Chains A and B, each alone.
Chain A
Amino acid sequence: MSLKRKDLLSLATLSVEEIMLILETADSFKEVTGREIKKVPALRGKTVVNLFFEPSTRTRTSFELAAKRLSADVINFSPSSSSVVKGETLLDTARNIEAMQADIIVLRHPAAGAAETLARSVKSSVINAGDGWHEHPTQALLDLYTIRERKLPFKGLRVAIVGDVTHSRVARSNIHALVKLGAEVRVVGPPTMIPPAVDRLGARVYYNLEDALRGVQVIMMLRLQLERQGRALFPTIREYSRLYGLTAERVKLAEPGAIVMHPGPINRGVEIAPEVADSLSSVILDQVANGVAVRMGILYLMSGAN
Chain B
Amino acid sequence: MTTGARTEKPQERLVMEAGDIARALTRIAHEILERNKGTKDLALVGIRTGGVHLAHRLARRIHDIEGAQVPIGELDITLYRDDLALRKDQPVLRKTSVPFNISDLKIVLVDDVLFTGRTTRAAMDGLIDLGRPAEIQLAVLVDRGHRQLPIKANYIGKNIPTSRDEIVKVLLEEEGEEDRVVILKA
Contact = CB atoms under 8 A, between A and B. Distances in A.
A24 B78 CA distance: 14
B37 interface: no
Contacts of A305: 85-88
Interface stretch (B9-17, B27-35, B108-116, B124-132): B124-132
B171 to A, nearest CB: 23
A36 B131 contact: yes
Given A2-B90, A304-B89, A305-B86, A40 B129 contact: yes
A300 interface: yes
B85 A37 contact: no
B129 A304 contact: no
Contacts of B95: 27-28, 31
A31 B90 CA distance: 19
A28 B96 contact: yes
A301 interface: yes
B71 to A, nearest CB: 17
A247 interface: no
B79 A40 contact: yes
Contacts of A300: 79, 90, 93
A167 interface: no
A150 interface: no
B89 A41 contact: no
B97 interface: yes
A41 B79 CA distance: 6
A28 B79 CA distance: 10
B166 to A, nearest CB: 27
Interface of A: 1-4, 21, 24-25, 27-29, 31-32, 35-37, 39-46, 297, 300-301, 303-305
Interface of B: 76, 78-80, 84-97, 125, 129-131
